Chains A and B, each alone.
Chain A
């Protein structure tokens, strides 16, 4: 029944249709009995059975099981279909490196695709489903992909569908996307929440196997702050998987004792279910804690997962090693597993991987695994080793247990949809062996990933046929035990203790040499062996991405030989498992093909994350409304009460407009607000503007140097408009600054640049001119500031200003500034400045008084019809008045471009002066700020439209500038705009076209003065 033809994928679909599902016995409850559960042993809690469901069928497992061990206990070995070829796949490993046993866990909004069954802790009523199959796992129609294997081979994306190009988008890509894939993401929003947190420690220990536990104990006993992290829900590492003894008792018991001793130290933090996924600068490590993944759903208030930033003075990497598969025909068949995993399922979970197990290896550890299986009561049919000679101490116990010992032999092919048999080659002869499980081991690869995250590469160690960490490691990190390629239990215990002691002594702790518990080293000899060359059936290197040995030879033949090319051409190691079980085999096969040897071939880069991390964990608290913090103005509650519609301006929420009942749309509201200001009085919260208190004997000098215009000459009690340039001569920000005293100014910035301008001043004071005696403080949050604008603004304000302060035009003229009290003793600042072009003031009170102020103003102006206005009306009025704002201060414009060239003082130096003189910035043809109105006043202008001469082709060569801001002017009754036009000042009255190729408009416009309303500024001074 075995033989090459039985395992050829091409014949498989016909066979699979006839093959009956495995027959499960059933318990009285309806769930099948745990056929493969061993009668004794294991670290599962037989007193706590747990029901679960896989693909709609009910099963039972025990507390302490993983989903993988519980499935195996129930004889379920077929759990998924492969990525490209839809080959039946089972459970390969017992850990985080699992490439095959990927399932959809949970359902509805909590459905998680591509979940490794080996990492899922069983809970009561767990529900999981296989993925990437249709209509069912047993009978998957998409397995016909295997008929098209030649199409899906290495490089198929690049070659097969080159022509005709149009077929790619319409035909090939949709087909491939449907056929190749993994699980389905949940379609509803994730109902759970995620968190981020920071932890600090003296010593971070990564991995709680023998080396890690010993490192943590050594540090804890010395009084250090220790964090011990392990990805498993139970700490102990291989001590749970291998039947070993420490100090005369079971290794798992010793591990439990170590964990409880560690838990007794107040400064030791044990973090099970946590994976350190990245090593970063400054001794910082990223870790993901699966807080609630082992529960049906998170308890109230608990997150599902927590993303940790662990800041460690020192760290010990004790992450162990990952066993490598051997590449041979049909090595992906369900039932073919890693030897260390078969051992773990027997010892830790009391599960027999099969009724009859064979072992195929190139190293001693698989023999120890076989011995453990025999001791646990699992039938071992044969041990096949590629080596001609193996220590009789290893072979004898197996031979006496009745296993066939086949040295100098190789498994060539396998058969069965679920493994039924092996074909073994010994020299020139072939035998078949009927087994339903094969435990393979190609040796072990130390888990070096984290040692490489800061750019290091591991080095090849011929003695253990594996890459080990280089001498150069991330600062503060040491590697201990199997992760360093130092195998053996006694070695690991000693190595862990020594690594911790060395780290602690660097930190100044007295770490007495730990008394090491008694243990011995298992033999660990290995002979490098990668690929059974005589296999004819598909021999998988990367089982998750369906990359075969043949794909690697194709890559070699076509010149994609360096490992990074090999990876991208074949997709080797690019799946969610990041090639943990496949990368070394792949590069070793390439090394054999090129004859270069493994050290010269090298590895691909290891990058974080070591294992997948949900995006939700990186977002933490910051999703939805909390994506970023929101700043609220002092009058926010009042504006909400008025029915304001709010708009996000940077982090701020500002009132955009205040709709009234009966208004049809926002434009009607905004028109009303604008006209109310132009004819009566309106008010607007402008607290979001940046406010910086500038004090000190050199305050005026500082302002002279950061603004383009003069400041030290400004009189006390006066305000002035200022423009700041960046060092490169472009405009950075503008605003109004007032002088409150000889050594005291209050600066305002735009809302968007409040922080940037403060940083700019700090830089100037700390770096450029530390000799200046100036003190600055941000007071943006201290003051509520309200613009009161319109012909009736003075009369309104007069009603709240305390006597004897005089705000008459003579006493408090345009651009006056002063300190006063309002509303019977409330401290206030008043500025007679105007953004709207009307008679206007800005009045500031302490933020806690802001709401009181706005209510008082509404009352004071009630008989003038005082109208609150939002950012829309503010914008319309500033365009009507020709004031530049964010659209014009866009980082590409100079003071001259904005029509402010004459403000630039020639009598002093200031930041940006030199660079503003560059020929390109002073070119008279440079586009300059102009006003624009449509020739046909019924036309609507579009911001972003480009200026093209009348009659010219609308192309880049004829582009003369563009419209930056447009608005409907209720004052003028037509659309108006501001823009930059080449030689604009000389072209007032000229006609050009405003062409908007995006929205397909092309209208004639007239160039005009940018100040549409009150160009003489008479209203400001009344």
Chain B
């Protein structure tokens, strides 16, 4: 729902190039996948066989062409389909998971935001207490943490650096208040969904 809340254009400081780029991260289908008791490895293998990408067995992020997984807890992932319908993705995941765990459609539960730009780390440091320095946090790393009393999961998608962040739908507006206030001094360029 970030596409409805986030107006494309320049926010905060308008002089100079923007320090932070923000974009709603397109229309992903999302689901929670939770492994059955002692079946995380087996489940990960089944998902890899079906989607061509192995869900990380740690707070990490791995993505294939279309489907990606973020480790959000032991034997627990947020699964993403870049081009999908929630119900169909839930069905495809259920097929792959079978009796190895549970799948729950979460397509409307989270907003996904794509963040990048030269000042993105400085802006995130105002809420994310996890160390995002390249010595500590690399593309493929993820963290489930709290920003301004709001639970989020953040993962790094490339070296630029670019991050994606998931926020519970009902908190999206408050999260954007925090983000735009925190990044204002660097200048924020909001680009349309799917880019950035």
CB contacts (< 8 Å) of A621 on chain B: these are 126, 148, 178, 181-182
Category for how many chain B residues contact A: 35 or more
Does B84 reach chain A (CB closer than 8 Å)? no
Given contacts A301-B185, A632-B170, A693-B102, contact A200 B136 (CB under 8 A): yes
B143 vs chain A, min Cβ distance (A): 12
B50 vs chain A, min Cβ distance (A): 18
A851 vs chain B, min Cβ distance (A): 10
- Pick the residue among A193, A770, A781 that contacts B169 (CB under 8 A): A781
Does A225 reach chain B (CB closer than 8 Å)? yes
Inter-subunit contact A693/B131 (CB<8 Å) = no
B100 vs chain A, min Cβ distance (A): 10
A sample of 28 inter-chain contacts (CB < 8 A) reads A196-B126, A198-B129, A199-B125, A311-B131, A621-B181, A622-B148, A628-B149, A629-B171, A629-B174, A631-B170, A631-B174, A632-B170, A633-B170, A696-B102, A777-B102, A777-B104, A777-B106, A779-B109, A780-B168, A780-B170, A781-B109, A782-B105, A782-B109, A783-B108, A846-B105, A848-B1, A848-B108, A849-B108
Inter-subunit contact B108/A626 (CB<8 Å) = no
- In the complex, the 6 A-B pairs of residues with the closest C-beta atoms, listed nearest first: A629-B174, A775-B102, A695-B102, A775-B34, A631-B170, A782-B109
A504 vs chain B, min Cβ distance (A): 14
Inter-subunit contact A779/B129 (CB<8 Å) = no
B151 vs chain A, min Cβ distance (A): 9
Given contacts A632-B170, A696-B102, A781-B170, contact A200 B149 (CB under 8 A): no
CB contacts (< 8 Å) of A195 on chain B: these are 126, 182
Does B60 reach chain A (CB closer than 8 Å)? no
Distance in angstroms between the alpha carbons of A34 and B124 in the assembled complex: 47
Does A12 reach chain B (CB closer than 8 Å)? no
Does A135 reach chain B (CB closer than 8 Å)? no
CB contacts (< 8 Å) of A849 on chain B: these are 108
Inter-subunit contact B32/A771 (CB<8 Å) = no
Distance in angstroms between the alpha carbons of A134 and B109 in the assembled complex: 62
- Pick the residue among B37, B104, B185 that contacts A302 (CB under 8 A): B185
Does B107 reach chain A (CB closer than 8 Å)? yes
Most-contacted residue by chain A among B12, B109, B150 (CB, 10 A): B109
Inter-subunit contact A198/B128 (CB<8 Å) = yes
A295 vs chain B, min Cβ distance (A): 14
Inter-subunit contact B12/A301 (CB<8 Å) = yes
The chain A residue with its CB closest to the CB of B107 is: A846
Q: B98-125 interface mask toward A, CB cutoff 8 Å, 1 = contact, 0 = none?
A: 0001101111111000000000000001
Inter-subunit contact B170/A309 (CB<8 Å) = no
Q: A631-B170, A846-B108 are in contact. List 20 more A-B contacts (CB 8 A).
A: A193-B181, A267-B133, A301-B12, A301-B185, A621-B148, A621-B182, A622-B148, A626-B177, A629-B178, A632-B170, A693-B102, A696-B36, A697-B36, A771-B37, A775-B34, A781-B106, A781-B169, A827-B87, A847-B108, A848-B108
B77 vs chain A, min Cβ distance (A): 11
> Count of chain A residues with Cβ under 8 Å from any Cβ of B?
47
CB contacts (< 8 Å) of A781 on chain B: these are 106, 108-110, 168-170
Distance in angstroms between the alpha carbons of A423 and B149 in the assembled complex: 62
Most-contacted residue by chain B among A302, A631, A633, A775 (CB, 10 A): A775
Does B13 reach chain A (CB closer than 8 Å)? yes
The chain A residue with its CB closest to the CB of B32 is: A777
Inter-subunit contact B108/A309 (CB<8 Å) = no
B53 vs chain A, min Cβ distance (A): 21
CB contacts (< 8 Å) of A779 on chain B: these are 104, 106, 109
Inter-subunit contact B148/A629 (CB<8 Å) = yes
Distance in angstroms between the alpha carbons of A698 and B105 in the assembled complex: 21
Question: Chain A interface (Cβ within 8 Å of chain B)?
Answer: 193, 195-200, 225, 267, 300-303, 309, 311, 621-622, 626, 628-634, 652, 693, 695-697, 770-773, 775-777, 779-783, 827, 846-849
Does B69 reach chain A (CB closer than 8 Å)? no
List which B56-90 residues lie within 8 A (CB) of chain A. 86-87
Distance in angstroms between the alpha carbons of A695 and B104 in the assembled complex: 9
Does B175 reach chain A (CB closer than 8 Å)? yes
CB contacts (< 8 Å) of B182 on chain A: these are 195, 621
Given contacts A311-B131, A773-B36, A773-B37, contact A301 B184 (CB under 8 A): yes
B98 vs chain A, min Cβ distance (A): 12
Distance in angstroms between the alpha carbons of A195 and B12 in the assembled complex: 15
CB contacts (< 8 Å) of A634 on chain B: these are 169
Inter-subunit contact B149/A197 (CB<8 Å) = no
Q: B3-14 interface mask toward A, CB cutoff 8 Å, 1 = contact, 0 = none?
A: 000000000110
Distance in angstroms between the alpha carbons of A198 and B86 in the assembled complex: 36
Distance in angstroms between the alpha carbons of A782 and B34 in the assembled complex: 17
Inter-subunit contact B107/A782 (CB<8 Å) = yes
Most-contacted residue by chain B among A622, A693, A771 (CB, 10 A): A693
Given contacts A622-B148, A781-B169, A847-B108, contact A300 B13 (CB under 8 A): yes
B149 vs chain A, min Cβ distance (A): 5
Query: What secondary structure prevails in chain B residues at the interface with A?
Result: mixed
Distance in angstroms between the alpha carbons of A776 and B106 in the assembled complex: 13
CB contacts (< 8 Å) of A193 on chain B: these are 181
CB contacts (< 8 Å) of A652 on chain B: these are 170
B108 vs chain A, min Cβ distance (A): 4
The chain B residue with its CB closest to the CB of A845 is: B108
Given contacts A301-B184, A630-B174, contact A782 B106 (CB under 8 A): yes
Inter-subunit contact A632/B109 (CB<8 Å) = no
A194 vs chain B, min Cβ distance (A): 11
CB contacts (< 8 Å) of B170 on chain A: these are 631-633, 652, 780-781
Does B41 reach chain A (CB closer than 8 Å)? no
Inter-subunit contact B34/A776 (CB<8 Å) = yes
Given contacts A311-B131, A633-B170, A776-B34, contact A197 B13 (CB under 8 A): no
Most-contacted residue by chain A among B35, B105, B150 (CB, 10 A): B105
Inter-subunit contact B86/A846 (CB<8 Å) = yes
Distance in angstroms between the alpha carbons of A302 and B184 in the assembled complex: 8
A223 vs chain B, min Cβ distance (A): 10
Inter-subunit contact A197/B174 (CB<8 Å) = no
CB contacts (< 8 Å) of B126 on chain A: these are 195-197, 621
Inter-subunit contact A632/B12 (CB<8 Å) = no
CB contacts (< 8 Å) of B86 on chain A: these are 846
Distance in angstroms between the alpha carbons of A628 and B148 in the assembled complex: 8
Most-contacted residue by chain B among A196, A197, A770, A783 (CB, 10 A): A197
A285 vs chain B, min Cβ distance (A): 13
CB contacts (< 8 Å) of B181 on chain A: these are 193, 621, 626
CB contacts (< 8 Å) of B35 on chain A: these are 775
B168 vs chain A, min Cβ distance (A): 5
A785 vs chain B, min Cβ distance (A): 12
CB contacts (< 8 Å) of A267 on chain B: these are 133
Given contacts A628-B149, A693-B104, A695-B102, contact A847 B178 (CB under 8 A): no
CB contacts (< 8 Å) of A622 on chain B: these are 148-149
Inter-subunit contact B173/A630 (CB<8 Å) = yes
CB contacts (< 8 Å) of B1 on chain A: these are 848
CB contacts (< 8 Å) of A696 on chain B: these are 36-37, 102
The chain A residue with its CB closest to the CB of B14 is: A300
Inter-subunit contact A782/B108 (CB<8 Å) = yes
The chain B residue with its CB closest to the CB of A692 is: B104
Given contacts A632-B170, A846-B107, contact A777 B34 (CB under 8 A): yes
CB contacts (< 8 Å) of B185 on chain A: these are 301-303
Distance in angstroms between the alpha carbons of A66 and B185 in the assembled complex: 27
Distance in angstroms between the alpha carbons of A621 and B126 in the assembled complex: 9
List which B19-56 residues lie within 8 A (CB) of chain A. 32, 34-37
A769 vs chain B, min Cβ distance (A): 10
CB contacts (< 8 Å) of A770 on chain B: these are 37
Distance in angstroms between the alpha carbons of A132 and B142 in the assembled complex: 55
Given contacts A195-B126, A775-B36, A777-B106, contact A629 B13 (CB under 8 A): no
Distance in angstroms between the alpha carbons of A634 and B101 in the assembled complex: 29
- Pick the residue among B101, B150, B177 that contacts A775 (CB under 8 A): B101
B18 vs chain A, min Cβ distance (A): 12
Most-contacted residue by chain B among A193, A300, A311 (CB, 10 A): A300
Inter-subunit contact A225/B171 (CB<8 Å) = no
